[in-house]
Chain A
Amino acid sequence: MMKGLKKWRLFGLLAALTIFLSGCGEEYLSTLTPAGQVGKDQYNLLLLSTAIMTFVIIVVVIIYVLAIVKFRRKKVGENTIPKQVEGSHTLEIIWTAIPIVLLLILAVPTVSLTYKFADTKAMEAKDADGNAKAVTVNVTAKLYWWEFEYPEQGIVTSQELVVPTGQKVYFNLKAADVKHSFWIPAIGGKMDTNVDNINKFYLTFDKESDGLKDGVFYGKCAELCGPSHALMDFKVKTLSQDNFNNWVDNMQATKGKKADKNSTDLGEQVFANSCISCHAVSGEGTGGGVAPNLAAFGDRNRVAGFLEHSEDGIKNWIKNSQELKPGNIMPEEKALNNGKEFTDEELDALAAYLMGLSVEK
């Protein structure tokens, strides 16, 4: 009998644990599985505040349950008139003082971390050659995509942020059209991209994203920015310092790359005729593009930030971009191709060309 009971208890515990663990979310997306110092500090603050608040809840619940159990009319008697107590100074002082102490415990790390996370002085630090010591990324949020410019390296990419692990990476955040917010939940808290000013902050990435389910961390837009706000995802690839340097070199090496109208590759021809006025295929340069830079498109995880990354995904996007991501500024298919739809042959070739734009392969 007792044994059976114990088993049941174990079962209950396991069930609770399963729910609890499923409550942690996905490793590449959840704030509960932080993969960077900022996120870890925030996670610890979450634990501390949860502990304090759980204490408060327990105290309240104990008094609450006891009061309800002990002082029901059924128990006390229909006609009993309770003593009309005015109050108690001692109790008032107790439940004023204790919460103040609890809040002070929370306030100290709050204030210190607020200042710590806002410390971006190292962005300006230069080594002997006048090069910046830290990696800085200029993030520009646009309807509904993200541009990542590396001013020091002279390269620019989009939709997929690539960063080195094990160091502070600094961000200059700005929005080009309406306000957005830059958030990589598994790495650390968000910061808004305002239209009026540049916001600065930093994040650290402790873990290489290679082992994750999709090989990337997920990033989100966290500020309502229009119909396709929900689809304004980006991805984050974290590389070791060496791999990052390689990636930078490869990106720089795409300098001058252009789609050629006279190419033998039909895909390149189509691209040169229809896409090049907005999309660049060279990763070298500065930000400010009208449309995402596609130099590293083939290495990406998604089409348009959220569609399956395949030739079919690309074709689907070109054919139905407005339907799939309402409000984006990519022109309709016919507007791209002088009033005609692309032939299947052209689309296949274009998709293949795009998939071949890679700096990693």
Chain B
Amino acid sequence: MSSTAKKKGFGATIWDYLTTVDHKKIAILYLIAGTFFFVVGGIEAMLIRIQLAKPDNDFVSAGLFNEIITMHGTTMIFLAAMPLLFAFMNAAVPLQIGARDVAFPFLNSLGFWLFLFGGIFLNLSWFLGGAPDAGWTSYASLSLASPGHGIDFYALGLQISGAGTLIAGINFLVTIINMRAPGMTYMRMPLFTWTTFVASALILFAFPPLTVGLFFMIFDRMFDANFFDHINGGNTVIWEHLFWIFGHPEVYILVLPAFGLFSEIFATFARKRLFGYSSMVFATILIGFLGFMVWAHHMFTVGLGPTANAIFAVATMAIAVPTGMKVFNWLLTIWGGNIKVTTPMLYALGFIPSFVAGGVTGVMQASAPLDYQLHDSYFIVAHFHYVIVGGIVLALFASAHYYWPLMFNQMLNETLGKITFVFFFIGFHCTFFVQHFLGLMGMPRRVFTFMGGQGWDQFNLISTVGAFLMAIGVILLVVNVIITAIKNEPAGRDPWKDGRTLEWAIPQPVPYYNFKQTPLVRGLDTFWIEKMEGNKEGMTYAEPISDIHMPNNSFIPFMISLGLFVAAFGALYHQDTDKTWSIPVLIIGLAITFASMITRSLKDDLGYHIHKEELMNEKGGKH
């Protein structure tokens, strides 16, 4: 939110956002795109629940249902949860560590546009002959057998957006390693920065296996390779391994930043330092590490043999230990604190029982012999929605309220926020709690319908009612955003009054160059320390005011991503013999991408400087 942005015309604002390399604006782009896909995924979820509201329903057909569940899962994980987390990472992390921006602003923009074009490509499948229908896991035997282009959209779309995610992850790693303000040692980093750091490391190691798997899939489907075709010596179980070697860490890529967000919220609204900070950091790293050791627990019924199953069962159980440490540390953070139940805090308080419930069912499924019963039943559907909705979505909603004033200098309405919470929270438990029992009562997941009289009718109806309550919650949140935007009341600096970390010390609206002078960090919760010592400015400075070097805006990231988007259509239609234009399109698309990259490499873009004198005069710098 540069202070000059508001004076621009509409077209200029659009152009500004298309070319921006400012982490704060990219955060807003991620927020808008992520919310859009969240709504799309949410509508898909509603269609699923309407179809399953009663036995033998024919609201959607069997094939369409499979497309809907596939797109619901894929959209929510890749196109909603991750970008929304990136929105808050972009908004908060550079400010939390006292940086002027991320390490590679250009790449930050590139990461966003790749994600967006990948996401659009994937969703265009709805209009171009049908969406992927093999589940978000896209197991190889089924996905290879799937007719039409749905799976091709899946593989190519995820490949493009996955590249964006990988770039974003690397960017945050470098940013957090290199860009910390003086005094911001690793053990003084706020927990959201820590979890972003570990999640980024997970992205770095988890996405390449997915990339490899997707390339194999693309080659198998589009160029007649045989990586997964068992008749020609391929092996479908390899896909399952590659997918879950990515897929399990992916869960932690999502949930660790959520943990970080809640850690900030608990400490802020309990007015208390995070209890056991160092063990929280340790637990985060340990979860990240163990996250790579447990992928085969998704494959207990594949027939890997008892030794593999036993090892992965025990390893999976081990993750419960650091996760439990975190829960108890949060409890002890609010214990003895001074708890103010704001909307973000309400979400955080709702998160603890929900996530614990999701965690314990996870341990139950870690027990391999028991998982033989639970696997691929509605029990697992209940479990991962407790983790993902109860952990991640609650964190996203909490952070939307918590960081709204940081991102937009406005406060979302607190009362409406609490009403939203009530609807969403009750709806969430109503939807998913009964699904545990549906699973135990023998209902497999991913069924487009079920016969009446199998004892599942009531619980399915309850579940659907819950889904509608959740939908009301989401609509209320959107209404809240609209009302707040229309009111447009500035929130000012430290709007929650209890801010502890550096992002709250910065004046509002946040100057486009962030900190006029790089702050000196004097401990954990540095803003809190300054406030307690009566420092009205909220910061101690590490340097005198001097020139600030800024990067130029660039349209190149958009063009690079657009080129890949175009090329993907060429690759996708290459198999259809009647579409002779496919090869030229592939070449043109790649040409756009490479020409853009060459332009970027050959053209010197040294950025510009904001001069000291300008900074002295700028009012935004003082508050």
Contacts and interface: CB of A to CB of B under 8 A. Distances in A.
Interface of A: 22-26, 29-32, 39, 41-42, 45-46, 49-50, 52-53, 56-57, 60-61, 63-64, 66-68, 71-73, 76-77, 80-88, 91-92, 95-96, 99-100, 103, 106-107, 109-111, 113-118, 173, 175, 177-179, 181, 183, 185-186, 188-192, 194-197, 199-200, 218, 220-231, 306, 326-327
Interface stretch (B202-210, B336-344, B397-405, B611-619): B336-344
Contacts, number: 302
A52 B361 CA distance: 11
Contacts of B376: 181, 183, 190, 222-223
Nearest to B331: A63
Contacts of B321: 96, 99-100, 103
B353 A64 contact: yes
B335 A67 contact: yes
A86 B277 contact: yes
20 contacts: A23-B441, A30-B441, A32-B441, A42-B373, A49-B367, A71-B335, A73-B338, A82-B337, A88-B276, A92-B279, A100-B321, A111-B310, A114-B309, A118-B309, A190-B375, A191-B372, A196-B230, A221-B444, A222-B301, A229-B66
Interface in B267-287: 270-273, 275-279
A11 to B, nearest CB: 20
Contact of A87 (B279, B335, B339, B375): B279
Contact of B331 (A25, A60, A191): A60
B303 A41 contact: no
A190 B328 CA distance: 35
Contact of B451 (A190, A194, A306, A327): A306
The 5 closest A-B pairs by CB, nearest first: A189-B372, A25-B441, A230-B447, A185-B442, A53-B360
Interface string B343-375: 000000100110011001101101111111101
Given A76-B337, A178-B141, 19 more contacts: A30-B441, A57-B360, A60-B327, A60-B356, A63-B332, A64-B353, A73-B339, A86-B277, A88-B332, A110-B317, A114-B369, A118-B309, A179-B141, A189-B375, A194-B236, A196-B230, A196-B236, A218-B442, A227-B62
B490 interface: no
B63 interface: yes
B303 A191 contact: yes
Given A30-B441, A115-B310, A194-B302, A50 B273 contact: no
Contacts of A83: 272, 336
Contacts of A95: 324-325, 328
Interface of A is mostly: mixed
A190 B380 CA distance: 14
A60 B353 contact: yes
Contacts of B325: 92, 95-96
A181 B301 contact: yes
A117 B372 contact: yes
A128 to B, nearest CB: 31
A334 B68 CA distance: 32
Nearest to B500: A84
Contact of B230 (A77, A80, A195, A229): A195
Contacts of B313: 107, 110-111, 114
Nearest to A173: B303
A67 B141 contact: no
Nearest to A81: B271
A236 to B, nearest CB: 12
Contacts of A185: 373, 377, 441-442
B455 A30 contact: yes
B142 A178 contact: yes
A46 B364 contact: yes
B428 to A, nearest CB: 17
Contact of A110 (B369, B375, B447): B369
Given A32-B441, A99-B321, A192-B303, A327 B458 contact: no
B341 to A, nearest CB: 7
Contacts of B449: 230-231
Contacts of B302: 192, 194, 199
Nearest to B306: A118
B468 to A, nearest CB: 21
B273 A86 contact: yes
Nearest to B367: A110
A138 B368 CA distance: 24
A84 to B, nearest CB: 4
A13 B119 CA distance: 51
A117 B301 CA distance: 12
Contacts of B368: 110, 113-114
A319 B237 CA distance: 38
Contacts of A92: 276, 279, 325
Contacts of B66: 224, 226-227, 229
B320 A71 contact: no
A106 B339 CA distance: 36
B440 A197 contact: no
A71 B275 contact: no
B415 interface: no
Interface string B311-322: 001100110110
B369 to A, nearest CB: 4
B442 A84 contact: no
Contact of A226 (B142, B306, B317, B369): B142
B348 to A, nearest CB: 11
B426 to A, nearest CB: 18
Contacts of B377: 185, 222
Contact of B145 (A173, A178, A230): A178
Contact of A25 (B142, B235, B279, B437): B437
Nearest to B67: A227
A49 B349 CA distance: 25
A305 to B, nearest CB: 11
A76 B272 CA distance: 13
B61 interface: yes
B569 interface: no
Contacts of A91: 276, 328, 332
A56 B270 contact: no
A30 B442 contact: yes
B37 interface: no
Contacts of B455: 22, 25-26, 29-30
B310 A87 contact: no
A80 B336 CA distance: 11
B141 A230 contact: no
Given A30-B440, A53-B364, A115 B306 contact: yes
B141 to A, nearest CB: 4
Contact of A179 (B142, B306, B329, B361): B142
Given A29-B455, A99-B321, A87 B360 contact: no
Contact of A82 (B305, B338, B364): B338
Contact of B370 (A46, A115, A175, A224): A46
A186 to B, nearest CB: 7
A60 B340 CA distance: 20
Contacts of B360: 53, 56-57
A173 B272 CA distance: 57
A105 to B, nearest CB: 11
Contacts of A87: 275-279, 329, 332
Contacts of B271: 80-82
Interface string B445-456: 111111100111
